Structure 1
C-alpha cells in the first residue's frame, strides 16, 4: 500500500510539473507577443486586414472649338473579375463568355483555370465594356450557366469613330494615354488620384461605416481645342475620296487660321478608330503624317525663295530670263516640263513654277541669305543635319533632314525649288501662314483653353509664340504673285469663284531609300494655299502620296489642288466668310 501511495504521489507531482511548465510557456509566449513582437505583428495584421483602394477621377472631356461637340469623353462601363475558386467548369465558362467579351476562349480558359479569388478578364485592348455587355453576362449568371464572375463599375473612353483620330490619340486598356492630345495633356485630363483605406473582412468588404483614412481625388480638367469638328469632318471626307479616286498610298491635309496659328482641322490617311485601337491600329496607320512625315516639298517650297528675294530687293517681276534649263557647275537643271517657255519674265516664271527662275533667284540670294530665310520661316538651318520643330502640341513631331554642311552650288540651286531637303507638312503650313497674315510666324497649336469640369470656369488660355519674319509689303507682294499661280498658272484647279484663292502646287519625286536617286513614277503631289488672297481667313494644305492616274498626269495641280479647293470652300462657308463679287468670275 505504501509503495502504491508513493508512486501515485510521484505521478501527481510529475503531472503538476508538466502543467506548470506548459502554463509558464504560454505566459512567456504571451508576454513575448505583447511586449517584444507587438509592432511587427501589428504591422502584419494591418497589412492583412487594412485595404487601400485607389480613387481615380473621371477623365476630362475634349471639346472642339465651338464647345458644343465632344471629341473624347467618358461613359459608364464595367470590367469583369473571376473568383476562380467558384468557377466549376473553366472551359465551358470560357466558351460562353468568349463571344460576349470578344476574347479568345482559350485565353479565357487559361485565366479561369488559375486558383485565385481575383482574376481580371482582360486581354490586350479588351477590358472595359458597355452596359449591354453587362446585361448579357448577367443573363448567363441568372440562368445558372456561369459561376464566380463579378462585374465592377468604371468608365471607358468614347470617340466619334475615326474623326480626328491622329489629333486625339487614344487610351490603352490600362488607361495609359498614347498619341495626340490624350498623351500631350494627359496630366490635365487625368487629374490626380486619391485613395481610401479601410478595415476589410475576409471577403474584402468594408467592416466599418466610415473609412479609416482617405484622400479625395483632384478633379480632371476639360480641354477646348482649336479644331472645328465641322471642318474636320469635311476635310476627312474630301481626303478619303481623293485617295480612293486616285488609288493613292495615303495622304494628309491641314486647315489653319493664319492670323493665330490655330489648327482648324488635321487628318492623315490611312487611319484607325481610337475607340477600338486593338483591332484597327497598325504600323501603317499609326503615324500622324501631318506632323511626323518628312519628304521633299518640291515646288511648294519655292514660296520661301520668292519671299526672300522680294525681301532682299532682288526680285524684279518684269525682268526676263531664258527658261528651259540652266547649268550649275557640272549639272544641268531643267524646268519641270523639260523644255521651258522660251524667254519669259520672272512674273511668268513664278506663275508657271519654273525651276530655272528659282535657281536664278537662289543664286542672287547666295547661300548665306537663303539659309537665313529658310531658318526664319521655321524650317531650321539647312547646313545642319536636322531641321527645327514648329513646337506644335502633338507628339513625335518631325523636324526635317538637311545637309549637315555648307552647300555645293548645285545643292543651293536645287534647294531654291524644294529639292534635296526634307520638311514636314506642318512646317510648310506655319511658313505659309506668315505670308498670309502679313509677315508674322505663329507657332501652330491645337489647344485653345483649359477648363474646370463641365466648362464651368476657364483655367488657362493658350498664348501662341509669334515673331515677325518679313515686312508686310513683302508678304503682300508674295500673295499677289501666288494669286496669279491660281488664276492663270499651275494652280487653276484650286480656284474658287467668289473668294480669290492664292497658292502653290508641288510635285515631288520620292527619293530611293537606298540613296541612289529617285524612285520611278513615285510622287507626293501637294497644294498649299489660302483664301481670300487679299485678306486670308484659312490656309489649306493637301498632300497625296503616290496617286495613280489613267492619263499619267497625276500632279499637284491636277490631284491635290481640286481637293484643296473643296476643303477651302467648305471651311470658308462654315466660318461664314461671304463670297466677294470681285472674285465671282475670277477663272480666265
Structure 2
C-alpha cells in the first residue's frame, strides 16, 4: 500500500514540473525573440536600410517637395533693342474652401465668402453672385476655380487681388510668349509652342528664329527642395536645397521695327486690294547684308495664331521656297557675259525669235522689238537677246557665273530649313531658257545675295537677319559682315548698274512705272510663268510671278529692295501697279532715312523710365520729359504696371500704356497702332480681336466700360 501511495504522489507532481519546463522554454523563446528584434533594430539603426532600401532616402522621398524654378525664355529684339518676342506669364486664380486646411491655427481657406466675392468681382468679369456660386459648390471640394474668367490673368491683376489679403485665394502661373507687334516678320521671327517632351522647358521654338536659336533662348530651369508636412508647408528647420534657374539669352536681329511695321502695312494693303496668292517684300542693306525688313502674305499673328490654321503653309517664302525667278536672272547672266568678255553692247540682233535645238524662243511680247543692239536687251527684258548673250558666253562661263553668284547653294542665313535651289546645264534648250530665269530654282535670299555683288562693286555679302546672340552663359556671339565671293569686277558691276538704270530711265525700259522723280534708281523687272505640278506651266496671265529688284541710290547703292507678287486672282490693274503700291512709298521712306532728312532711328530712341508705383501726376511728368505719349487703363490713382517695361528702348512719341490700381476699364484706343492694342491685351489679360490695317478707328467696348471676359473688337483703318 505504501508503494502504491508513493507512485500516486510522484504522478501528482508531474504537472507542476511540466508547467515549470513550459515556462522556462517560453521565457527562453521570448528572450531569443527579443534579442532578435533588438539585433534587427540595431542593424537597421546602424545600417539605415531595410530590404536594400535606404530609410533616410525613403523618408526624404515621402516628405521632400521639389518645386521647379522656371527659367525665363530669352527675348528677340530689333536692331534698336525693342522687343519683338519676349517672355510672359499668365495666371489662374483658385480658392481653397476646405475648412480643415489650416496651419498653426491659421485658416488657409476662404473664411468670408461674401467679402471675397465682392473683392474678386472688381477684377474678374464675373458678378458677385456668380463668384459666390463658385465658392459654394453643391458637392464637397478642397478648392474651386472660376472658369475661363479666372484664367489668363495679368501680373497686375494678380497683384491687385493679393493686396486684399483674402484667405484661401491662390494663383498658379503658366509661361507664355508675347509678340507685342502682332503680325511682324512672323515667319522670320517664328513661333513657340508648348513642349510636350521636356517639362523643364515648357516652350519650344518651332519656326523661324525661335527655332533656329531655341537652345540659346530656352534657358535652364532650377529647383528648390525642402521637407514639408502633409499640407505642403515647409517643416521647421528643414534644409532647403536650391539650384537657381538660368534664364535664356537674347537674339538681336537686324530688323528695324519702324520700317518693318511700314512694310507690313503696305503688303496687307496690296493683299487686300488685289487678292494675289502671295506677295513678299524684303529690304536689305546693300553694303552689310543686314535684312532691315522682311514680310510675306499670307501670314499670321504669332500671339493669337490667327492666320495659321489648317492647310496654311508653315514655310518661310524667303528662305524655304524655291521658284523660277524669271527676268530678274537676266541681271546676273548679263554680268557673267560682261565679266567673260563676250558681251557686245553695240552689235545688233533680230529680236523676233531664236531657234535652239529645234525649239523656237520668242520675246515676251511675242513679236520682238526689231533690230536692236544688245545694250537694250536688259532694259527691254528681251528674252531673245539674253539667249544670244548666254550662247555667246558659252556653257563653261554660264556654269561659272551661276556658281560664283551662289545659285544652287545655301546662303547660310541663320534661319531654319533654308533651301539650296537647283539648276542643270544638261542641254542647249535648258541653258537657253535659263538666260531669262526659267529651268532654274532659286530662293529670295540667293537673289539678294547675288544682287549685293552688283551693288558693292563686285563684292558679294551674305544676307544677315541676326547681328548678335547672347547665350544664357553670357557668351556673346556677333554676326558681322561676311564677304562670300567676288563673282565680278567693279567695272562689270558698274556696267550692269548702267543697264539697270536704263530699265527705269529709258522710254523703252520695262521699269519706267517705278521711276521716282529726282531719284537715281537701278532696277530689273521680272515676269515668270508658274510651273504646273503635272508638267509644263500653268496657263493664263493670272498664273505668273511678277517681281521687282531695285538698287538705290544707283550711284552708290545703300539698299536692295526685292518684291514678288504671285498668281493674281482678282487683278483689276496691271501687276506693275500692284507692286508700285508697295515700292513707291517704301522707297520714299528708305531714301528719306538715308538722306538725313529726318533723325535716324537710333537718335529717336529714348529709355523708358520706371513709373510703377508712382502717382498719376508724377508718372505723367516723367514720361512727358522723355517725349513719350501715355495711356491710362483703369480708374486708380497709382501705376501698378507699364508697357514698354522700364529700361527698354522706345521711339520718341511712342505710347507707354499704364495700368492703374483701380477697376480695369476700357480706354479710348482711337488712333492706336496694333502694337499698342496688343500691349493693352498683355497688361489686362483680356482678349482683343483686331480687324483691318492702319490705326484704330472703332472699338466694340465703349471707353470707360469694365473689361469683361468677352473679346473686344478693335477696327483699324489706313490714314492718308
The match for 2:90 among 77, 87, 105 is 77
- Shift in Å, 1:187: 2.7
Match of 1:130 in 2: 154
TM-score w.r.t. structure 1 length? 0.80
Change (3 A) 1:122 1:297: farther
Match of 2:414 in 1: 393
Secondary structure, in 3 states, of the residue corresponding to 2:319? Answer: helix
Cα-Cα RMSD: 4.0
Match of 1:570 in 2: 589
The match for 2:331 among 294, 303, 306 is 303
The match for 2:490 among 472, 479, 491 is 472
CA contact (8 A) 1:300 1:528 kept: yes
CA contact (8 A) 1:494 1:564 kept: yes
CA contact (8 A) 2:331 2:378 kept: no
The answer to whether the aligner puts 1:203 opposite 2:222 as a matched pair is: no
Match of 1:161 in 2: 182
Secondary structure, in 3 states, of the residue corresponding to 2:203? Answer: coil
- Shift in Å, 1:499: 2.1
Q: Deviations over 1:229-288 (max 9, x none)?
A: 111011111111112211111221110001000000111111112122388454414221
Q: Deviations over 1:464-503 (max 9, x none)?
A: 3203221111111111110111123111222222322211
Change (3 A) 1:19 1:296: same
Change (3 A) 1:84 1:43: farther
**Hey, what's the Cα distance between the residues in 2 that align with 1:122 and 1:443?**
52
Q: Deviations over 1:508-561 (max 9, x none)?
A: 11111122444444112111112111111111111112113556x744x34324
The match for 2:513 among 493, 501, 504 is 493
CA contact (8 A) 1:272 1:285 kept: no
The match for 1:343 among 351, 371, 374 is 371
Secondary structure, in 3 states, of the residue corresponding to 2:88? Answer: strand
The answer to whether the aligner puts 1:506 opposite 2:520 as a matched pair is: no
Match of 1:251 in 2: 279
**Hey, what's the Cα distance between the residues in 1 that align with 2:272 and 2:486?**
40
CA contact (8 A) 2:467 2:478 kept: yes
Task: Structure 1: give runs of 5+ residues left out of the alignment.
Answer: 87-98, 102-115, 381-387, 580-588
CA contact (8 A) 2:299 2:307 kept: no
The match for 2:428 among 380, 404, 409 is 409
Aligned length: 534
Change (3 A) 1:208 1:396: farther
Change (3 A) 1:273 1:550: closer
The answer to whether the aligner puts 1:535 opposite 2:556 as a matched pair is: yes
**1:212-291 aligned within 5 A:** 212-277=240-305, 280-291=308-319
Change (3 A) 1:367 1:217: same
Match of 1:107 in 2: none
CA contact (8 A) 1:257 1:263 kept: yes
Secondary structure, in 3 states, of the residue corresponding to 1:241? Answer: helix
CA contact (8 A) 2:407 2:422 kept: no
Structure with more of its chain in helix, by fraction = 1
CA contact (8 A) 1:272 1:286 kept: no
Q: Which is further off, 316-325 or 153-162? A: 153-162
The answer to whether the aligner puts 1:37 opposite 2:56 as a matched pair is: no
Change (3 A) 1:393 1:210: farther
Match of 2:544 in 1: 523
- Shift in Å, 1:199: 2.5
- Shift in Å, 1:441: 1.1
Secondary structure, in 3 states, of the residue corresponding to 2:403? Answer: helix
CA contact (8 A) 1:308 1:370 kept: yes
Q: Which is further off, 46-55 or 307-316? A: 46-55
Kindly name which structure, 1 or 2, has the bigger radius of gyration based on alpha carbons: 2
Change (3 A) 1:29 1:379: same
- Shift in Å, 1:62: 2.1
The match for 2:80 among 66, 70, 73 is 66
**Hey, what's the Cα distance between the residues in 2 that align with 1:58 and 1:439?**
45
**Hey, what's the Cα distance between the residues in 1 that align with 2:96 and 2:87?**
28
CA contact (8 A) 2:183 2:264 kept: no
Q: Deviations over 1:200-219 (max 9, x none)?
A: 33334433567543332334
Change (3 A) 1:341 1:462: same
The answer to whether the aligner puts 1:23 opposite 2:40 as a matched pair is: no
- Shift in Å, 1:181: 1.5
Match of 1:586 in 2: none
Match of 1:419 in 2: 438
Match of 2:209 in 1: 181
Change (3 A) 1:133 1:294: farther
**Hey, what's the Cα distance between the residues in 1 that align with 2:440 and 2:276?**
23
**Hey, what's the Cα distance between the residues in 2 that align with 1:156 and 1:576?**
41
The match for 1:560 among 571, 579, 582 is 579
- Shift in Å, 1:48: 3.0
Q: Which is further off, 245-254 or 394-403? A: 394-403
Change (3 A) 1:178 1:56: same
- Shift in Å, 1:66: 1.9
The answer to whether the aligner puts 1:49 opposite 2:60 as a matched pair is: no
**Hey, what's the Cα distance between the residues in 1 that align with 2:558 and 2:584?**
14
The answer to whether the aligner puts 1:443 opposite 2:443 as a matched pair is: no
Task: Structure 2: give runs of 5+ residues left out of the alignment.
Answer: 1-8, 100-123, 127-140, 195-201, 599-720
Q: Which is further off, 18-27 or 224-233? A: 18-27
Change (3 A) 1:200 1:120: farther
Change (3 A) 1:392 1:120: farther
Change (3 A) 1:120 1:546: farther
**Hey, what's the Cα distance between the residues in 2 that align with 1:208 and 1:471?**
78
Secondary structure, in 3 states, of the residue corresponding to 1:26? Answer: helix
**Hey, what's the Cα distance between the residues in 1 that align with 2:406 and 2:245?**
42
CA contact (8 A) 1:494 1:562 kept: no
Match of 1:112 in 2: none
Secondary structure, in 3 states, of the residue corresponding to 1:276? Answer: coil
